Amino acid sequence: SQGSRGNTVVKSLLEALIREQVEVLLDTRGVGTRVPSVLQNIISSEACRGAVKFGHELSVEESRVLLKYLGQCELPFQCAHGRPALAPIADLAIIDRDAAPVTSKPRLGRLKHLIKI
């Protein structure tokens, strides 16, 4: 039918566009050209569709893998659309103001053994 043939053509064009953009990104190491906004919107929507949603339970292993991959991201705390992907779990306004001030940088390297990367 005309509708299914049209869908096939659109799918083929999108696949070709995606392949071309991937080649450009690989050739230029991620720089050089801007991804067309139409394609960026499709990629962002697909990324959000596959994301972990609020209330979704993760196993310990799934959590470790997710943390490993988040550590490799340039912007790990934003969704593909640029929205925040975290919610604060503490209200800083009610933390005891008499607590000793932090004078050194946190040593986050000690956490590596917890996520077993």
Helix residue ranges, H only, the chain: 2-27, 37-49, 60-70, 112-115
pLDDT mean over 20-31: 79
98: pLDDT confidence band, cut at 50, 70 and 90?
low
Least confident of 15-19, 42-46, 107-111: 107-111
Ordered DSSP codes for 100-115 = PPP-S---GGGGHHHH
pLDDT at residue 90, as a whole number: 72
Enter the tokens of residue 34: 């801007």
Q: Which residues pair with 78 in a beta bridge?
A: 84
71: pLDDT confidence band, cut at 50, 70 and 90?
confident
pTM over 0.75: no
47: pLDDT confidence band, cut at 50, 70 and 90?
confident
pLDDT surpassing 60 at residue 103 = yes
pLDDT surpassing 90 at residue 65 = yes
pLDDT at residue 64, as a whole number: 92
pLDDT at residue 33, as a whole number: 64
Contact 79, 53 (CB under 8 A): no
